[in-house]
Structures are given as C-alpha cells and as structure tokens.
Amino acid sequence: MGGAQLERPSGARPGVCVRRSFRAHAGDQPRRPPGPIPVPGTMKQESAASNTPPASQSATPSAQFPRNDGDPQALWIFGYGSLVWRPDFAYSDSRVGFVRGYSRRFWQGDTFHRGSDKMPGRVVTLLEDHEGCTWGVAYQVQGEQVSEALKYLNVREAVLGGYDTKEVTFYPQDSPDQPLKALAYVATPQNPGYLGPAPEEAIATQILACRGFSGHNLEYLLRLADFMQLCGPQAQDEHLAAIVDAVGTMLPCFCPTEQALALV
Ligand SMILES: N[C@@H](CCC(=O)N[C@@H](CS)C(=O)NCC(=O)O)C(=O)O
C-alpha cells in the first residue's frame, strides 16, 4: 500500500541502477479516508465529513490547481518526502521524476508526524535553488480523487505540517521532454515550524533522537534514502547523503553494548 512499486525491467542485472518503469498497482491504492492522520493503532474508517478540520484550522491551497492538457479534472501532485513512500490517498497514475530550480532540505520542524513539541523532528521542504534538482514521485488524481486527495493533504501537510501549496513543473524520468504541471507542498521560512539550515551532523542527531505519531524520524530519513537509491545514479542528493552518512557514524554511540543487552 502507499507508494507505487518500482519495477526492475526483466533481464536487468541485480544491483545495477537501471531505468525503471514506475507503475501504480490497483492493490497499492490506500484505503485510509482523507482527513486527520489517525494515531497509529486507532485507524478506523470514518466518513469524510467527520475528518474535515474546523474552518478555523483549514488552510486552503494558495496555488491555483495546475492543469495539464487532456483531462481538465486531472491533477498531478508532486511528492518529495513522506509522500514518496506514503501518499495515503487514492491516485490513478504515478511517475518517478524531478523538478528543477529546487533543492530538498531537512529544514522543516515537525512536532506531530516525526517529532513532538518538546523534541521536534526534521522533515523535508523545497528550497528555491536555480541550479537545484529534486527527485520524487508525481501522482495523478482524477475526478473525485482530486477533492479527496486535497482535503486529506490539506490536513496532513498544511494543518499538521505547516506546508503551503506551490505549482511546480515536473519532468517524468521516462519522458523529460513532456513535463507536467504539478502541485507541491512546500514549507516556507515564514511558517512557525520552519527550523532552517543546520550542520548535517546536528540534523542527524535530531533525527536519531525524535519520533512522532507517524513513527521514528530515522524511518523518514531512511525511506527517502531508499527511494533515491532506486532512482539510480542520475539522482543525487548530497544533503540527504551527508545526513545518512552522519547517522551511520553516530549509530554506534546510540547502540547499547552487549553487556547492556545482556547478550553475553
Ligand atoms: N511535502 C513533502 C514533505 C511531506 C512530509 O514529509 N510531510 C510530513 C508532514 S510534517 C508528513 O506527511 N509526514 C508523514 C510521515 O512522516 O509519515 C512531500 O511532498 O513529501
């Protein structure tokens, strides 16, 4: 469930980054109703109406919904963080690809999904960067999926995460000459949860120490690193790689000794 499956083309040599076809599978379609993220273990099917945040909380998307040729009702949503592996909304199609002019940074604080008020975690946002390129997944929603996805993401991203919407141009890896307009959720420096730049070692320490209602902050980092690994050598994210390296260096300090585990 969640992110679509990356398929290794038949005949590809294992361990070699090859161009992959990225296909959503009907079985992947999430079943979670749109709306507030239920605390893990308490998920239940609720009517959309009961999930609608109070008017005072709802933050309507600021970007006009980007339209592409073809189905006027269709909308593409670009994910570059947790949306890469856990979109949790129904979609009709998905593509791996990238956006130009932005770099991804772990500069957004999170006190719900991967952190708490006392120990905010760090999640990603997009930074305008003329030479930047950020890889992720674009999901196509059509018909009723559009309002359901936007209602759900408004709560998950805007109300709970401090993100705002922005129109971006998405380049599918399989057809970069046919770019798509897409909606992205971006945490700007003006939002109260924004933490801004920090040394990668400090970010790694924060990630190692934090968890929230959606799980540990380390899971968030490693799932994103997994995705980037699957994208192949053409997809580089030095900021992400530096944080993963820093985590690897620090993990021994966080791991209990054999004596402590009484493994002897
Ligand atoms: N908007 C970015 C980042 C999304 C993101 O990571 N948002 C957090 C909100 S703070 C989230 O949904 N976290 C859910 C989780 O960590 O599983 C994306 O397109 O993926």
Q: Whose CA is nearest to atom 9 of ligand 1?
A: 161
Say how many C-beta atoms besides its own lie within 10 A of residue 245's C-beta. Answer: 13
Q: ∠ CA 142-180-230 to the nearest 5 degrees?
A: 95
pLDDT by position in tens, the chain (length 264): 344 444 433 333 332 222 333 333 333 443 333 343 333 333 333 333 333 333 334 444 445 678 787 676 789 999 999 999 999 999 999 999 999 999 999 999 999 999 999 999 999 999 999 999 999 999 999 999 999 999 999 999 999 889 999 999 999 999 999 999 999 999 999 999 999 999 999 999 999 999 999 999 999 999 999 999 998 888 999 999 999 999 999 987 766 667 766 665
Residue 77 to residue 182: CA distance in whole angstroms:
5
Closest ligand 1 atom, residue 220 Cα: 16
Contact by Cβ (8 Å): 239, 146: no
In angstroms, what is the span from residue 32 Cα to ligand 1's centroid?
A: 16
In angstroms, what is the span from residue 211 Cα to ligand 1's centroid?
A: 14
Residue 157 near ligand 1, beta carbon < 6 Å: yes
Contact by Cβ (8 Å): 117, 73: no
Q: ∠ CA 140-110-107 to the nearest 5 degrees?
A: 85
The first and second tokens of residue 132, run together, are 């930047």
C-alpha torsion angle, residues 122, 86, 6, 248 (rounded to 10): 30
Residue 214 near ligand 1, beta carbon < 6 Å: yes
Residue 71 to residue 118: CA distance in whole angstroms:
46
**Catalytic site residue 157?**
yes
Residue 99 to residue 102: CA distance in whole angstroms:
7
Closest ligand 1 atom, residue 187 Cα: 1
Choose the catalytic residue: 7, 131, 144, 157.
Answer: 157
Give tens-digit pLDDT for 235-246.
Answer: 999 999 999 999
Residue 181 near ligand 1, beta carbon < 6 Å: no
Residue 28 to residue 16: CA distance in whole angstroms:
25
Rounded to two decimals, the pTM is 0.76
Residue 88 near ligand 1, beta carbon < 6 Å: no
In angstroms, what is the span from residue 87 Cα to ligand 1's centroid?
A: 9
Smallest CA-to-CA distance from 147 within 43, 235, 34 is with 34
Contact by Cβ (8 Å): 22, 94: yes
Residue 12 to residue 14: CA distance in whole angstroms:
6
